[in-house]
Chain A
Amino acid sequence: MTIAPNVDSPRTATANPPVQPAQGNLGQAAVVRSSAGGPVAENPTALTPVAKLIDVSKCIGCKACQSACVEWNDTHPGVEENVGVYENPHDLTPDMFTLMRFAEYDNPETGDFEWLIRKDGCMHCADPGCLTACPAPGAIVQYSNGIVDFIHENCIGCGYCVSGCPFDIPRISQVDHRSYKCTLCSDRVAVGQGPACAKACPTHAITFGTKDDMTALAAERVEDLKSRGYDNAGLYDPQGVGGTHVMYVLHHADKPGIYNDLPEDPQIAGVVENWKGPTKTVGLAAIGLAALGSVAMGLFSRVAVEPEDERHAEDLVDRAAAIPGGEGSGEGKDA
């Protein structure tokens, strides 16, 4: 028998769930936003906002986070080839929700070489572009603790979330035609346990807790980095998307682009702007095919895609096409 959910957000990466069986606290009762008019809770459970802090200056690029992510989510990334880089798999995939990205940087100011290693993955934006762009009701939700979660049975695989994301994170599975990304281990956090990657991180480069605690910890780290000569050290919590629930401590916060194209100033609108010209045509064709499939699937699915959703999606695309000069985000290309 389960007991009533009485757990707030976990405070550390190593927090463990209560011994007694408990229902998770991240059910429908905690949903504050839902894509395409999906259901939200009337009086959502008030959970303390959480955050994962990734301290790039402590990260050794060991990929324990990738390994833990694969193990916890039971995904099966393939054994690829080596193409002359350390990134393996070579990009985020529906089976790899997080990826160490390695950038080789000759610092023109110091003359020193730096190897910048950044754990890439969903940023859990306060104002999530994926959720805004998603045409499938209830396929993307946001909980009161800030986690943005994909509800796969509602997903139609249209790919709007991919283009709606200013960080280029979600990936569509070619197997089940649904979109996948980091859940911030919502299934663990729901029962008071920290995310798998943070728990596995050997150097505490990844920490987890309330957003307030993580912001305070980041300030401490920034102070340390400044004392070591990183005058522009800072916290990456971009306000263009309302702040994020995954944040970075960067030694060069003035140049996020050098960390493998981390956007300088991510915005939802900026991404929608990308939709124009041939991209639109190709995009629409792809959506049409995906939607056909999803309508068929919709017969057996709890949430069907309404014509209204389709119109909304097209509307988004058309609006994007009307904005000039929107090709490519152009962000972070100054490395």
Chain B
Amino acid sequence: MTNSWTDIKNTDLVVVMGGNAAEAHPCGFKWVTEAKHHRGAKLIVVDPRFTRTASVSDYYAPIRPGTDIVFLMALIRHMIENDKVQWDYVRNYTNAAYIVRDDFGWSDGLFSGYDEEKRDYDKKSWDYVIGDDGFAVTDPTLENPRCVWQLLRAHVDAYTPELVERVCGTPADRFLKVAEMIGECSSPTKTMTSMYALGWTQHSKGAQNIRGMAMLQLILGNIGVRGGGMNALRGHSNIQGLTDIGLMSNLIPGYLNIPTEQEPDWATYMKSRAFKPLRPGQTSYWQNYPKFMVSFMKSMWGDAATVENDWAYHYLPKLDVPAYDVLRIFEMMDQGRCNIYFCQGFNGLLAFPDRGKVTRALSKLKLLVTIDPLETETSRFWENHGEHNDVDPAAIQTEVLQLPSSCFAEDEGALVNSGRWLQWHWPGAEPPGEAKLDTWIMAQVFLRVRDLYLKEGGVFPDPIVNLTWDYADANEPTPEELAKEMNGRALSDLSDPADPSKTLVKAGQQVLNFSQLRDDGSTACGCWIYSGSWNENGNNMARRDNSDPDSTGAFANWTWSWPLNRRILYNRASSDLDGNPWDDSRRLVWWDGAKWTGYDVPDIAPTAKPGEVGPFIMNQEGVSRLFSRGLMRDGPFPTHMEPFESPMANVFNPAMRGNPVARVFESDVARLGDSAEFPFVATSYRLTEHFHYWTKHNAVNAALQPEFFVEISEQLAAEKGIAKGGRVRVWSKRGEVWAKALVTKRIKPLICDGKPVHVVGIPLHWGFVGAARKGWGPNSLTPFIGDANVETPEFKAFLVNIEPAAGEAVS
């Protein structure tokens, strides 16, 4: 989230598209009902199904799964055509005025530089014209036909309300009503918030869906203001923490990068991370990258990381592929190239696409270790459960070690919520039986591996044997020790840059925050964005002051949020170019004549003069990007791409299947279906009664939603002779499931390209262990394809067939 849950109360319009907040985030949704009740806010829902969120909305519009970009680009077109633009914001706080290279272009659904053989773009042309002074060339009048604004205008021109109706199946009048309501928020005194989740991310072009809405929000001037923002609702408790800490193969903590093979040494790695400002006087905060990176290396390897050995850069793995994401790992497992797998805190057999392939891959492992507080299907993948898990245990040689771990209520530490708040909590109970804290388990694994390296040596023992492990009890690092390590400390006395005779931080003391980190090896910091969470003032994450002066929704003394306890990112943009709030009733951060001040920690240097330094300090431009240069693999603007399995061809280029640069493994191509064989569009989702695959273990949740079902329209039920509550078989190119049929008016057939499109809704909470009835998850059916940028699997749009099925399951 750019903003916070509590800030949603400040909004005038909530748009839930690409998510179902009431269903999946019922507790946070209270801030929507609060905004509606006390501010008169309106709620719009755009979704293939009339959801629980839609049930309390002011306006609902249906949409075909996987066509959000068409809807969003059409909204942008509508705003431009109808002058629903916050012009001062667009001119000054976005890159609308920047001139783009002449060789950039778009035709037939593709941007310039496409290489069909490599399934990739050469992104060279997707950039600004750089002047002789080294800065990007701009045209503040926005009239130059090569400026971003004019290019965007031309790019969205094809996305008419008629195209929305044809591709999305959304009736044009419904689309126009939504556009009209959203258009009101181009006023500086009206804001809209976007609440989205996996309904946008789980597509082969998920990141572009989000880009589309972010661009719309910039055009409306809704980023950095109270009640605005791009608000990603995180689906698991602490999934925000997971990404922050960099639990992805291509990241290290604080969104720093694992090097690639093209960056064999420190100098090369740092060269592409110089982040020189692209306009005069801009902050370009990532210029501090070396401070964060060196402090990270010192936190990892202490004295073994020196200036002479480039901070032990050679210890870091160098990626030979963009990422070892979970799809790639399972592909490698299936090819016999991955033999040992640690599965900690997730249930891959039900969570990863194409379950048939997942089962096959797990069966080829030598060793599977599961670490989980609950019995998972993954740890039982080898066990025969009749049609619910029809495997031959005798044929599976994988050794499975099941390590029971603690659950969140049994340990101490911080969970990071969607709004980036690190909220410290204390255990409510001891872990039962043999269950152990995850930290204890990981410590045991590490210490044993280190012992082996110490005793037996190895090809490259250094990163393991030199890893900093200075916890009081090596067997069990405490939450306090780990949290302090992430905050960072001085390794030697830090002098004050303003007065070198003074000592700012004494050796051994916690740094105040990341502004004190150095790139000379005198500081260590495990995760720079968390720096400030546990400093010499103590554990700021444990703060429990719920006062909120002037009811702004900031709650600045409640726990701690990254970065620097800032509650709303880009908050300098809440004021105009002169530093005066756009909306006096929603003041946030403003210029008092000498410095920035306000209710939140200003997201700009305190004395950076308004009008000189742009509000988007993380960008080299100092402004936000309507045109994202080469930062995304699939285009600097979002362009319509059909799902890989779709009932209709791409209107811009019928030969283009799915996202043209999304990775597809060869073995999965044959496992893609077409609409002749699989005429219905399926989408997957959560239900409020359950949390993923956990709560089916709980008798109460199991009673409230006991059995696997699929949702279909009355029309499809009639067409197929399916009765309400009857049993159906649903199958895709990859697998089949049996479910109860929930026939509903909440799903209605859409007319796309002149033909009816039926949607089959498939919730995801059932498996073969637990208190609820045995069932399946949608992943038995979904394709093994991920988003082109981040490899999130395409769970939200795929093709299936459905028929009535006789009798009950025999298991």
- A-side interface residues toward B, CB under 8 Å? 57-64, 66-67, 70-71, 76-86, 88-89, 96, 104, 106, 112-117, 202-205, 221, 224, 227-228
Contact = CB atoms under 8 A, between A and B. Distances in A.
Contacts of B445: none
B270 interface: no
Nearest to B33: A203
Interface of B: 22-23, 26-27, 29-30, 32-34, 36-37, 40, 42, 50, 52-56, 58, 60, 688-689, 699-709, 723-726, 740-746, 748, 771-773
A85 B725 CA distance: 7
Contacts of B60: 112-113
Given A57-B56, A104-B746, A204 B726 contact: no
15 contacts: A58-B36, A59-B56, A60-B56, A62-B22, A63-B689, A67-B700, A79-B699, A80-B706, A82-B705, A84-B709, A115-B52, A116-B55, A117-B52, A221-B37, A228-B42
Given A70-B700, A84-B709, A84-B725, A203 B52 contact: no
A61 B56 CA distance: 10
B688 A60 contact: yes
A52 to B, nearest CB: 17
Looking at A78, A88, A117, the one whose CB has the most chain B CB atoms below 10 A away is: A88
Given A57-B56, A61-B688, A62-B688, A81 B740 contact: yes
Given A63-B689, A67-B700, A113-B746, A58 B709 contact: no
A85 B742 contact: yes
Given A81-B773, A115-B50, A60 B706 contact: no
Give 4 closest A-B pairs by Cβ, nearest first. A84-B725, A82-B707, A84-B724, A60-B22
A79 B773 contact: yes
Nearest to B31: A203
Contacts of A63: 688-689, 704-705
Contacts of A84: 709, 723-726, 740-743
B704 A228 contact: no
A59 B58 CA distance: 14
A88 B706 contact: yes
Contacts of A117: 52, 55
Given A60-B22, A60-B52, 11 more contacts: A57-B56, A60-B29, A62-B26, A70-B700, A80-B703, A83-B725, A84-B726, A113-B745, A115-B50, A203-B56, A221-B37
Nearest to A64: B26
Given A60-B22, A62-B52, A82 B29 contact: no
Contacts of B34: 204
Given A62-B688, A81-B740, A82-B709, A115 B746 contact: yes
A82 B33 contact: no
Contacts of B32: 203
A178 to B, nearest CB: 21
A204 B707 CA distance: 28
Contact of B771 (A57, A79, A88, A204): A79
Contacts of B740: 81-84
A58 B36 CA distance: 9
Contacts of A104: 744-746
A323 B706 CA distance: 43
A115 B20 CA distance: 15
Contacts of A60: 22-23, 26, 29, 52-53, 55-56, 688
A237 B500 CA distance: 74
A71 B704 CA distance: 13
